[in-house]
């Protein structure tokens, strides 16, 4: 038994000669770093001025004068370089988010398949991992790009799928959503359903902790999230229609067109990263003690439920840290978009804009800051998620 006298004393700052010397050395180090940075900036500005090269960020207000093949926001060639920056940033974020999403789904499926008792399925998953991990990402992106423009038919012989989907060597064309009167109420119903599902899940957890009795919160939440907005959508007379693209002349008009460069880039990033994620998932599952699965089986849980309720939740504590590194790699590898001509941030801002304005230092610094910010925010989100997975008391 311990008392206050046995507890370790708190650290107190004492103004000793050693502490003064340490503080002085640290202050001198900070001052030297600041002085060095200021000297580099001043030298760079003086060199630019001597060569009559403009500096500063005023170029962001100048007219760009070039088109961008795909943009998530309204843009034309009369817009400014600042608008070009936003177009490139939006495209980079879109590629990164879709790459992370598809890579996670494929990686988890392949990782679990590698541990399948089926000999064929496990070998096929292993072959996928070895092929995707051991080929350079750039070649994989080029392969998918050349496959799309070389193998897929032209617009007149397009492959047509359900809901107006069209695939040809000009890209993937999706139907254009057209909003009708009352669609906003469907969105309100969807938001209310999500809140209700969260309340139900919270109540179910508290009920199980209090009484030990389970409640199908997952199925009830799914029913709320899907059923409530669908019911409101039908009651309002389906206030959302899909307008498919129409073939006119040599190309399709209308719809949402995903250019081949975008499809090839997302496919390459997702399939390449999924190979690494699959190995991370496999290692995480094998790190869980076999006794956990045996105990679940003794309680009557089927293998699928054992994997879902017992193994995966424990394996996530091992999976999440290396998974974060793979997500960061997806963000950074998205800069390979320039190889196939997709207008991401590097292509339109650090490429075309830099060539036209010549302000390399500002543009490269802004581009680096964007990738750094995205990576830090991604790491922060994953660290917060990993903290939630940590056992209580550790």
Q: Whole domain around residue 339: which residue ranges? A: 81-125+260-389
Among 330, 280, 298, smallest CA distance to 112 is for 280
Residue 18 counted as domain residue: no
- DSSP structure string for 156-225: GG-EE-GGG-EEETTEEEEPEEEE-TTHHHHHHHHHHHHHHHHHHHHHHHHHHHHH-----HHHHHHHHH
Alpha carbon distances (Å) from 242 to 165, 178, 229, 235, 245: 11, 6, 18, 18, 10
Structural domain includes residue 151: no
**Cβ neighbour number for residue 184 with a 10 Å cutoff:** 10
We report the CATH number of the domain holding residue 357 as 1.10.3720.10
Asked whether residue 253 is domain-assigned, the answer is no
Query: Is residue 298 one of the residues assigned to a domain?
Result: yes
How much is the pTM?
Answer: 0.78
Residue 2 belongs to some domain of the structure: no
Per-residue pLDDT of the chain (394 residues; tens, 9 = 90+): 444 444 445 556 677 888 888 889 999 999 999 999 898 888 877 887 787 777 788 889 999 989 888 888 899 989 999 999 999 999 999 999 999 999 999 999 999 999 988 999 999 999 999 999 999 999 999 999 988 777 888 888 888 888 778 888 888 888 888 888 888 899 999 999 999 999 998 898 888 888 877 788 888 888 989 999 899 999 888 888 888 888 887 778 888 888 889 989 999 999 999 999 999 999 999 998 888 888 888 888 888 888 888 888 889 989 999 999 999 999 999 999 988 889 999 999 999 999 998 888 889 999 999 999 999 999 999 999 888 877 655 5
In a domain, 20, yes or no: no
Domain-embedded: residue 394: no
Question: Residue 29: phi, psi to the nearest 5?
Answer: -65, -45
Residue 319 located in a structural domain = yes
Per-residue DSSP letter, 250: T
Domains contained in the chain, number:
1
């Amino acid at each position: 038994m311990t008392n206050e006298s046995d507890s370790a004393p708190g650290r107190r700052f004492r103004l000793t000669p050693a502490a003064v010397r340490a503080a002085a050395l640290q202050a001198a180090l900070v001052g030297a770093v600041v002085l060095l940075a200021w000297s580099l900036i001043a030298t760079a500005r003086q060199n630019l001025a001597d060569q009559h090269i403009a500096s500063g960020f005023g170029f962001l207000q100048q007219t760009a004068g070039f088109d961008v093949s795909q943009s998530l926001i309204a843009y034309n060639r009369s817009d400014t370089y600042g608008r070009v920056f936003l177009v490139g940033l939006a495209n980079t974020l879109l590629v990164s988010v879709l790459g992370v999403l598809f890579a996670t789904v494929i990686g988890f499926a392949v990782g679990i398949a590698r541990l399948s008792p089926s000999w064929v399925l496990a070998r096929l998953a292993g072959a996928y991992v070895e092929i995707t991990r051991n080929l350079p990402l750039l070649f994989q992106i080029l392969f998918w790009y050349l496959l799309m423009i070389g193998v897929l038919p032209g617009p007149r012989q397009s492959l047509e799928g359900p809901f107006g989907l069209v695939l040809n060597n000009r890209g993937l064309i999706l139907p254009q959503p057209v909003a009708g009167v009352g669609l906003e109420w469907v969105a309100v119903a969807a938001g209310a359903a999500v809140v209700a599902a969260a309340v139900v899940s919270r109540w179910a957890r508290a009920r199980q902790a209090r009484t030990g009795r389970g409640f199908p919160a997952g199925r009830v939440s799914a029913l709320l999230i899907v059923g409530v907005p669908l019911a409101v959508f039908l009651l309002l007379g389906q206030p959302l229609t899909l307008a498919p693209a129409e073939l006119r002349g040599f190309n399709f008009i209308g719809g949402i067109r995903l250019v081949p460069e975008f499809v090839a880039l997302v496919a390459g990033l997702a399939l390449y990263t999924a190979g690494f994620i699959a190995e991370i998932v496999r290692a995480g599952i094998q790190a869980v003690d076999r006794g956990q699965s045996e105990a679940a089986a003794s309680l009557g849980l089927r293998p699928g439920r054992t994997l879902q309720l017992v193994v995966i939740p424990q394996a996530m504590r091992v999976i999440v840290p290396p998974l974060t590194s793979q997500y960061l790699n997806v963000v950074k590898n998205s800069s390979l978009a320039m190889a196939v001509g997709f207008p991401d941030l590097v292509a339109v801002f650090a490429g075309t804009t830099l060539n036209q304005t010549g302000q390399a230092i500002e543009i490269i610094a802004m581009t680096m800051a964007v990738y750094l910010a995205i990576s830090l925010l991604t790491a922060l989100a994953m660290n917060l998620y990993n903290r939630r997975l940590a056992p209580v008391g550790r």
